[in-house]
Amino acid sequence: MEVQNLHKRYGRRVAVEDVSFTVEAGEIFGIIGPNGAGKTTTVESIAGLRVPDSGTISVLGLDPVKDRAEVRECLGVQLQESSFPDAITVSEALELYSSFYRNPVDWQDLMELLGLGDKRKARYKALSGGQKQRLSIALALVGGPRIAILDELTTGLDPQSRRDTWSLIERVRDSGVTILLVTHLMDEAERLCDRIAVIDGGRVAALDTPAGLIAAASVMQQVRFRLSRPLDKRLLTELPEVSDVEITEGRYLVTGSGQLLGSVAGALARAEIVAEDLRIDQRSLDDAFVAFTGRPPESSAPRQEEA
């Protein structure tokens, strides 16, 4: 799947200004960004639900607008907000959706795969949040798509349901389905995604693996420890990797870059000083998000995003 120079505006407001990226077969590709950044407009354009003003989108060689019917057969979509009649049962919903496709998968097998077999006769209104999400995923997969778009997959779920859903998505990917995942949860993106595009202001601010984004966002590192005996501070400040050393009540905080941990550990070993409670502050995808967008990730469930 390839998106090139995508533009979309609503009246005078630009929602997507210039977005380009490629999703490789078999990967989980993530899209993160602040509310209103253009994430939902981008994925809805890929799904053929929005018509771009300019730019090109290729889904397995097909145009989502010109080849809408063909794209519908190979692309499954789970949107940010989905609702169904309260009285419809799990089996009724799956059977109905499977009738929309030329070559659907066996919906009963899919129901079992997603852990909904014992809820086949349960009505939608009686399902838990996690079960509703599983049904939404099942409906996105019932057509046997080669690509699935999952928008805010685990919003509103409790931590255990969220982790169960992550494991499920990894199994779906392992079955051969390429996944485009939109999320505001940095731990979700870091756990699941092979690569991530950070979209901000309608543009791709960064694109890399989670580790690559974290590394690119900050070169500074910090090492904390206590020492078995006093140390001449110059032993550390003279190291080329060290930019600063703070000592507070016997605790050392060393800031630097490059191979900081190895350099500090080596200096202490040569001085025959044992470091106690040594730890390095690990940067996270949250830090990268802030670095590329200037804002922290949304801490609560996202609003419906028109852009």
State pLDDT tens for residues 163-208.
888 998 998 999 999 999 999 999 999 999 999 999 999 999 999 9
Residue 307 has pLDDT above 80, yes or no: no
pLDDT in tens, 121-174: 999 999 998 899 889 989 999 999 999 999 988 877 888 888 888 998 998 999
pLDDT at residue 37, rounded to an integer: 92
What does the DSSP assignment read for 38-106? Answer: SHHHHHHHHTTSS--SEEEEEBTTB-TTTTHHHHHHHEEEE-SS----TT-BHHHHHHHHHTTSSS---
pLDDT at residue 81, rounded to an integer: 67
Question: Cα separation of 35 and 181, whole Å?
Answer: 15
Confidence of residue 260 (pLDDT cuts 50, 70, 90): confident
Question: Cα separation of 104 and 95, whole Å?
Answer: 10
Question: Cα separation of 12 and 40, whole Å?
Answer: 18
Average pLDDT over residues 4-10: 96
pLDDT at residue 219, rounded to an integer: 59
Confidence of residue 301 (pLDDT cuts 50, 70, 90): very low
Of the chain, the percentage scoring pLDDT greater than 70 comes to 95
Please state, in angstroms and as integers, the Cα–Cα distance from residue 134 to each residue in 82, 123, 138, 139, 143, following that order.
Answer: 12, 14, 6, 9, 15
27 three-class SS:
coil
User: Looking only at Cα atoms, what is the longest distance across the chain?
Assistant: 76
Question: Cα separation of 284 and 215, whole Å?
Answer: 9
Question: Cα separation of 53 and 9, whole Å?
Answer: 7
pLDDT at residue 162, rounded to an integer: 87
Please state, in angstroms and as integers, the Cα–Cα distance from residue 156 to each residue in 90, 152, 253, 260, following that order.
Answer: 20, 9, 38, 40
pLDDT at residue 299, rounded to an integer: 52
134 three-class SS:
helix
pLDDT at residue 164, rounded to an integer: 87
Confidence of residue 303 (pLDDT cuts 50, 70, 90): very low
